Chains A and B, each alone.
Chain A
């Protein structure tokens, strides 16, 4: 039986009816057309599908859309403001924090949570925070530098 849900995504309200088994990542991509959130392993390991749910980074492949009813979600599409890249996006741009780009949306979302909780993270803390995000181009060094760039920019260094 379908369930009515209402979710705010990147500042816009969306309402509709969904099957309970519809995963949040499929709702975002297939119902709302927000394909920036990627599907990787589908088993809560790779982190490509990471979004912010009421400010918490979570894997949207391991959650049903009905569980997000009434919540505020931020996806990669919602980070830039007025055409200006978010400091984390700028960091990935400036530090070459991506090669193929597949893991990038999840990496950037998870990284914003790391810096929100710890404005001046060490390299070890960044790596620990990104344990739930896999990059198969193995470009981790540049990703860590991108997060450092964003942390410095955010704290005005």
Chain B
């Protein structure tokens, strides 16, 4: 499979990339390439120009700053999976990273590329929604931050405007008694999420749930927050009955996808089951007081 012809520009600064994007409306940004290149090989897209941002210094990092975790857009899934800092302060990120695709894909694919692509079966959107992340977009006009819940607009469509590049992902450092988990049904060939549920729960002194954030991927055209589940969990003592009742709302308001591998009904069923599992696993991950 050979892609259509294109021109290629490798840039060494973000500014160069933004200039090329501003001059070439149909140019595409090449990050890890693990969504873009397959789409080009199938000739689903034929961009006239690829702007390779793979060699820009300072787009690949994981650090703590101002009470936040900051992850550069070009950080690979493997770098996140292997980060000792994140395992300690935000274990949902390495857990999600380790479930993406396979080892080779994780070595090359990037968190920023995955989010900007917004694949309906991508793993990151669920985790980013559950963590209430902010995404920093930069363009020739300056910088702005976009809330995760406003970022995913539709199938393969994000709130990024033409000429904007996703630069950084910011997450408030979890504190207090919190628990996280990401549970997914892997597509057996591609490793994509048939359904993936990220749970981020915080608790009072006992098992009473203070706040719940549930991110859902794989079910609909775009990832979403399961607000019905969240409100059913908030202020409630979590046990099998209350978790089960909450999980029944996992696909409220969602238009579930059906395909050859999983019908819409089956996806709704999986979403409920994996929501229960993710909540239970998140509870287990809470450090004992």
Contact = CB atoms under 8 A, between A and B. Distances in A.
B38 A59 contact: no
B228 interface: no
Contacts of B263: none
Interface in B56-109: 78, 101-105, 107-108
Interface residues of A, number: 31
Given A44-B34, A58-B108, A67-B33, A21 B6 contact: yes
A45 interface: yes
Contacts of B54: 67
Contacts, number: 78
Given A20-B50, A43-B38, A45-B189, A59 B104 contact: yes
A21 B43 CA distance: 12
Interface residues on B, range: 20 to 34
Contacts of B78: 56
Interface string B112-132: 000000000000000000000
A132 B33 contact: no
Given A1-B7, A21-B2, A114-B103, 13 more contacts: A19-B5, A20-B7, A21-B3, A42-B1, A44-B34, A44-B105, A53-B108, A56-B78, A56-B108, A58-B107, A59-B108, A64-B33, A132-B101
Interface of A: 1, 3, 19-21, 23, 42-45, 47, 50, 53, 56-59, 62-64, 66-67, 69, 110, 113-114, 129-133
15 contacts: A21-B5, A21-B6, A43-B1, A43-B38, A44-B105, A45-B189, A47-B102, A56-B108, A57-B104, A58-B107, A62-B37, A62-B108, A66-B10, A66-B52, A129-B103
